[in-house]
C-alpha cells in the first residue's frame, strides 16, 4: 500500500521518448525516489557577476539547494548527499556518466548551468533518467537575478510535473497571520512568504487585530478581517501597491471572507443582531447579495472551483456542521454526518474533495470528505488545529496548530503545518514568528 | 567635627535601615506564607464547591465592577448563548445602573473559548453579546446606548488550557464606552 510505484517502461520507439520514471502521488510514500541534484554549473565570470549582485558565492549551488529542499519537503523524493557525487557539475550537464550516478543509487538526476547574460540570470536544466540513461526534459529560463529562488521553485515544479504527471506547488507563496505576545493579548500582523519560508515580509504593523487572509485567484489581492478602529470588517489589500479598502458598507461585523474562483466576488459572513448569514459582494459593481437566510450561524463559505456551488458551516441543526448549496443559496444540503462538530470547509481546487476541521471528544482533526459527504478521512489529530488551505494542485494541505498550555497558562505557541492528502508527510512549516490562518497562493509562474 | 557627626548619623541611619529591611523581609515572608495558606485553602474549597455550574463559570476571579455591586460580565455554557439565572441577575443590575446613569453608553464584548474554529467563534461571540444586549433592552435600555463587538476567541482572560479557564473565557463583558 505504501510502496512507491516506479514504472520503468522502455519504449523502443525511435521518434518519441515517453516518461520512464513515474512517481505515484496518490498514496503514502515510504520509499521516496532517490534523486541526485547536481549543483548547477557556472563559469567564473558569471559567478563573479552574481556574487556582486546577489552576495552569494555560488548561485548555481544555491539554486540547486532550493530545488533539493523542495523535493525533500514533498516527501516523494530523496535527494542524495552531494558529497557522494563523482561527476563535476559542468560535465554532468553535458553528458552524465550514468554508471557513476547508478553507483550511488540515484534513479533521477538534475543537472544545469547558470550564466550571466545581459545583466540577467539565464538558467538551463536537464532531468535525466539514470536507469534508462536518457534525458527526460531540458528547459531554459532567463530572468532578473533577484528571482533566483523562484528559478529553483520553477525547476522543482517542472521536475515534479514530469515525474508525477501533476502540476507542482513550489513556485507559490503563503499568506498568513504572524503572531506575537501573550495569549491574552496577541499582536497579529499579516505576513507573506514563499512556500518554503523564504522572503518573509510583514504587510501590516500589528496596530490592529487581523485575521483570516485569503488570496484571490491571481494571488495579487488578499481579502482579510481587520479590527481597524475596533470595527471588525472585511478588507481588500493589493499586495503590490499596499492599497487597502473596506469591502461593502455593512452596519456590523463582516468576517470569513474568500474570493470567488473568477476573483470577481467576495463571499463572507455578516453578523447582525446575533445572526450570521452569508453574503457576496461583486467587486466590479459593488452589488451585495444575501445568499443564506436562516436564524442560525452561517459562516466559513468556500466556492467550488467552477463557482457553481458553495460549501459552508452552519449550526442550524443545533451544532456546527458542513452544508453545500448552489451559488444562489438554493438547494441547501447537509453533508457532514459523522460524530462531532465540523467547521472550516474548503473546496479542493480539483473539485472532488472538501477539507475541514473536526472537533470530537476534545480532539481536533483535519480531514477530507467527498462533496456529497461520503468517504470521510481524518488526516491528523491534535490538541488544537484548524483552517486547512489547499496547495494549488490539491495534493497538500497547510493549516495551523496551537499547543496546550501548562497549569500556569504558559507554553502557548501557534505554528503552521502541512500534510499530504495521503495523511503522510506531516511537516512543520518554518516561520520567523508564531503563525496561524495560512492561505496558499496559486502557481505564480502560470 | 561637624563633618564627622554627620558621617556618624549616616552610618546610624544605615544601620536602622538595615534593621528595618530585615524586619520587612521577615514580615514579607510571614505574609507570603499566610497568603499561600489562604490561596491553597481557597483552591481546596473552590475545588470542593466548584467555580462552575454545569460548565458555566460562577466564580468572581476575573469579574470587574461597573459600579459597586454591578458586575461587568456574564458567562456562558459551551457553544451556548443562553443567559443563565445568574447572568440575568447581573444584567438587571447593569440595566438599573444604566438607567441611573443615562449618559453612559456601553460596548458589549462577546467572547468564545479557544475550543472552536476561529470564524464560527466570531459569530458565537456576536450572538452572546447580542443575547446580553437583548436582555438589557427588555429592561428599558435603548439600543442606541449599546453597541456590540465580538472578539471570538481572540482575547481570552485566562490563558489556561483547561475547562475552568475556558469557562472564564466564554463571556460577554459590558464596557463603558464614554
Inform me whether the pLDDT recorded for A246 exceeds 90: yes
Does B76 lie in the same domain as B56? yes
pLDDT of residue A22: 76
Q: How far apart are the first and last CA of chain A?
A: 34
Q: Tell me the per-residue pLDDT of A92-132, one tens digit each, with 9 for 90 and over.
A: 999 999 999 999 999 999 999 999 999 999 999 999 999 99
Question: Looking at the predicted structure, is the pLDDT value of residue A268 above 70?
Answer: yes
> Same domain for B85 and B152?
yes
pLDDT at B22 (0 to 100): 52
User: Are residue B100 and residue B26 in the same domain, yes or no?
Assistant: no
Same domain, B38 and B64: no
Cβ separation of B154 and A209 shorter than 8 Å?
yes
The per-residue pLDDT for B29 is 55
Name the A residues in 207-266 with CB < 8 Å from any B CB: 209, 211-212, 225, 230, 232, 252-253, 255-256
pLDDT surpassing 50 at residue A257:
yes
Considering the domain architecture, whether residues B57 and B133 belong to the same structural domain is answered as yes
Q: Which residue of A has its CA nearest to B119?
A: A256
pLDDT at A407 (0 to 100)? 86
- Crossing angle between the packed helical segments B118-138 and B85-100, to the nearest 10 degrees: 60
B143 lies within 8 A of chain A by CB: no
| CA-only gyration radius of chain A, Å | 24
Asked if the Cβ–Cβ distance from B119 to A212 is below 8 Å, we say yes
pLDDT of amino acid B28: 53
Query: Residue A433: helix, strand or coil by DSSP?
Result: coil
Task: Judge: A319–B79 Cβ closer than 8 Å, yes or no.
Answer: yes
The per-residue pLDDT for range A142-158, each reduced to its tens digit, is 999 999 999 999 999 99
Can you tell me whether residue A179 is helix, strand or coil? strand
B125 to chain A, minimum CA–CA distance in Å? 9
Cβ pairs A/B, distance under 8 A: 106
Percent of chain A with pLDDT over 90: 92
Note the pLDDT of residue A418.
97
B123 contact A CB<8A = yes
Domain count, chain B: 2
Q: Do A256 and B158 touch (CB under 8 A)?
A: no
Is residue A351 pLDDT above 50, yes or no?
yes
Q: Is B47 on the interface with A (CB under 8 A)?
A: no
Provide the grid cell at A176: 498568513
Tell me: do B44 and B58 sit in the same domain.
no
CA angle in degrees (0–180, nearest 5) for B38-B40-B45: 90
Kindly provide the ipTM of the predicted complex, given to two decimals. 0.92
Residues with pLDDT less than 50, chain B: 1-21, 23, 27, 31-49
Indicate if B93 and B135 belong to the same structural domain: yes
Q: What is the mean pLDDT of residues A202-229?
A: 97
To the nearest whole angstrom, how far is the Cα of A415 from the nearest Cα of chain B?
15
Assess whether B145 and B172 both reside in one domain: yes
Chain A CA closest to residue B129: A274
Q: For A42-77, how does the pLDDT look when each residue is reduced to its tens digit (9 = 90+)?
A: 999 999 999 999 999 999 999 999 999 999 999 999
CB of A395 closer than 8 Å to CB of A388: no
Q: Provide the chain A residues 178-197 that lie in CB contact (below 8 A) with chain B.
A: 182-186
A276/B159 Cβ within 8 A:
no
Cell of B120: 464560527
B43 and B86, same domain (yes or no): no
- Same-domain pairing of B37 and B106: no
Q: State how far residue B75 is from chain A, nearest Cα, in angstroms.
A: 16
- Is residue B19 located within the same domain as residue B90? no
Interface test with B, best of A227, A234, A251, A253 (most B CBs within 10 A): A253
Mean pLDDT over the full length of chain A: 93
**Alpha carbons within 13 A on the beta-carbon side of A12:** 0
Q: Taking the CB of residue A332, how many other CB atoms lie within 10 A of it?
A: 17
More confident residue, A45 or A16: A45
Residue A24: what pLDDT? 76
Set out the domains of chain A in order of their start, with CATH numbers: 34-164 (3.40.50.10070), 173-440 (2.120.10.30)
- Does the CB of B147 have a partner CB in chain A at under 8 Å? no
| Residue A60 burial (10 A CB sphere; 0-12, 13-18, 19+) | buried
The per-residue pLDDT for range B116-151, each reduced to its tens digit, is: 999 999 999 999 999 999 999 999 999 999 999 999
* CB-nearest partner of B117 from A209, A273, A343: A343
CA distance B14 to chain A (A): 40
Choose, out of B83, B113, B126, B130, the residue to mutate when testing the contact with A (most A CBs < 10 Å). B126
The verdict on a CB contact (< 8 Å) between A405 and B79 is no
Say which residues have a Cβ less than 8 Å from residue A122's Cβ, sequence separation at least 6: A114, A115, A116, A140, A141, A142
In a mutational test of the A interface, the residue from B116, B122, B158 whose CB has the highest number of chain A CBs within 10 Å is: B122
Bridge-based pairing state of the strands B171-176 and B73-75:
antiparallel
pLDDT number for residue A178: 98
Is the CB of B118 inside 8 Å of chain A's CB atoms? Answer: yes
Q: Which of residues 117-146 of A touch B (CB under 8 A)?
A: none
B119–A405 CB contact, under 8 Å: no
A20-29, A432-441, B27-36 — most confident range: A432-441
Asked whether residue B86 falls in the same domain as residue B165, the answer is yes
pLDDT at B129: 98
Mutate to test the interface with A, among B161, B168, B171 (most CBs of A within 10 A): B161
Query: Which of chain B's residues have a Cβ under 8 Å away from the Cβ of A276?
Result: 123, 126-127
What is the mean predicted confidence (pLDDT) over A165-182?
A: 97
Judged by phi (left if over 0) then psi (alpha if -120 to 50, else beta), residue A119 lies in: left
Predicted local distance difference test score (pLDDT) of residue A27: 66
CB-nearest to B118 from A362, A387, A407 is: A387
What domain range is B97 assigned to? 52-176
pLDDT of residue A31: 85
CATH label of the domain that carries residue B60? 3.30.1330.60
pLDDT value at position A9?
28
Q: In chain A, which among 391-410 make CB contacts under 8 A with chain B?
A: 402, 404-405, 407-410
Amino acid at each position: 500500500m505504501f510502496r512507491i510505484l516506479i514504472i520503468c517502461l522502455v519504449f523502443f520507439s525511435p521518434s518519441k521518448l515517453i516518461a520512464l520514471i513515474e512517481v505515484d502521488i496518490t498514496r503514502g510514500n515510504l520509499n521516496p525516489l532517490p534523486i541526485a541534484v547536481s549543483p548547477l554549473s557556472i563559469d567564473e565570470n558569471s559567478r563573479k557577476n552574481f556574487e556582486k549582485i546577489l552576495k552569494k558565492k555560488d548561485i548555481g549551488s544555491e539554486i540547486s539547494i532550493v530545488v533539493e529542499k523542495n523535493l525533500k519537503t514533498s516527501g516523494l523524493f530523496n535527494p542524495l548527499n552531494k558529497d557522494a557525487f563523482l561527476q563535476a557539475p559542468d560535465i554532468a550537464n553535458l553528458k552524465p556518466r550514468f554508471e557513476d550516478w547508478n553507483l550511488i543509487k540515484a534513479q533521477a538526476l538534475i543537472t544545469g548551468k547558470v550564466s550571466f547574460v545581459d545583466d540577467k540570470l539565464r538558467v538551463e536544466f536537464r532531468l535525466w533518467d539514470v536507469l534508462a540513461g536518457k534525458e527526460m526534459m531540458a528547459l531554459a529560463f532567463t530572468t532578473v537575478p533577484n528571482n533566483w529562488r523562484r528559478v529553483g521553485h520553477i525547476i522543482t515544479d517542472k521536475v515534479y510535473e514530469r515525474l508525477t504527471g501533476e502540476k507542482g506547488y513550489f513556485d507559490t507563496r503563503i499568506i498568513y497571520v504572524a503572531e506575537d505576545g501573550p495569549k491574552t493579548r496577541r499582536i497579529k500582523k499579516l505576513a507573506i512568504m514563499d512556500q518554503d519560508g523564504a522572503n518573509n515580509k510583514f504587510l501590516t504593523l500589528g496596530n490592529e487585530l487581523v485575521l483570516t487572509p485569503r488570496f484571490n485567484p491571481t494571488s495579487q489581492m488578499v481579502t482579510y478581517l481587520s479590527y481597524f478602529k475596533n470595527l471588525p470588517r472585511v478588507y481588500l489589500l493589493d499586495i503590490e501597491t499596499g492599497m487597502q479598502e473596506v469591502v461593502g458598507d455593512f452596519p456590523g461585523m463582516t468576517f470569513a471572507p474568500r474570493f470567488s474562483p473568477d476573483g470577481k466576488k467576495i463571499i463572507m459572513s455578516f453578523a447582525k443582531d446575533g445572526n450570521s448569514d452569508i453574503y457576496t459582494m461583486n467587486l466590479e459593481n459593488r452589488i451585495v447579495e444575501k445568499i443564506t437566510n436562516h436564524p442560525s450561524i452561517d459562516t466559513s463559505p468556500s466556492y467550488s472551483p467552477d463557482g457553481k456551488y458553495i460549501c459552508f458551516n452552519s449550526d442550524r441543526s443545533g451544532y456546527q456542521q458542513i452544508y453545500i448549496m448552489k451559488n444562489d443559496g438554493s438547494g441547501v444540503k447537509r453533508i457532514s454526518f459523522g460524530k462531532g462538530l465540523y467547521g472550516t470547509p474548503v473546496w479542493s481546487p480539483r473539485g472532488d474533495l472538501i477539507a475541514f476541521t473536526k472537533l470530537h471528544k476534545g480532539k481536533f482533526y483535519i480531514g477530507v470528505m467527498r462533496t456529497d459527504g461520503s468517504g470521510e478521512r481524518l488526516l491528523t489529530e491534535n490538541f488544537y488545529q484548524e483552517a486547512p488551505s489547499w496547495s494549488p494542485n490539491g495534493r497538500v494541505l497547510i493549516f495551523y496548530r496551537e499547543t496546550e498550555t501548562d497549569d500556569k497558562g504558559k507554553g502557548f505557541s501557534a505554528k503552521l503545518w502541512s500534510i499530504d492528502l495521503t495523511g503522510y508527510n506531516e511537516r512543520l512549516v518554518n516561520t520567523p514568528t508564531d503563525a496561524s490562518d495560512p492561505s496558499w497562493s496559486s502557481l505564480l509562474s502560470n | 567635627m561637624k563633618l564627622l557627626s554627620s558621617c556618624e548619623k549616616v552610618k546610624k541611619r544605615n544601620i536602622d535601615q538595615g534593621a528595618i529591611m530585615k524586619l520587612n523581609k521577615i514580615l514579607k515572608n510571614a505574609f507570603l506564607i499566610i497568603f499561600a495558606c489562604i490561596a491553597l485553602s481557597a483552591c481546596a474549597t473552590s475545588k470542593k464547591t466548584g467555580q462552575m455550574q454545569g460548565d458555566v463559570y460562577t466564580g468572581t476571579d476575573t469579574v470587574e465592577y461597573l459600579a459597586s455591586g454591578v458586575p461587568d460580565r456574564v458567562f456562558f455554557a459551551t457553544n451556548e448563548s443562553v443567559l443563565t439565572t445568574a447572568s440575568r441577575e447581573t444584567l438587571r443590575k447593569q440595566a438599573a445602573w444604566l438607567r441611573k446613569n443615562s449618559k453612559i453608553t456601553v460596548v458589549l464584548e462577546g467572547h468564545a473559548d479557544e475550543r472552536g474554529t476561529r470564524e464560527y467563534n466570531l459569530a458565537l461571540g456576536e450572538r452572546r453579546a447580542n443575547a446580553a444586549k437583548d436582555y438589557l433592552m427588555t429592561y428599558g435600555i435603548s439600543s442606541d446606548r449599546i453597541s456590540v463587538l465580538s472578539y471570538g476567541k481572540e482575547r481570552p482572560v485566562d490563558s489556561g488550557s483547561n475547562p475552568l479557564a475556558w469557562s472564564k473565557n466564554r463571556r460577554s463583558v459590558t464596557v463603558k464606552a464614554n
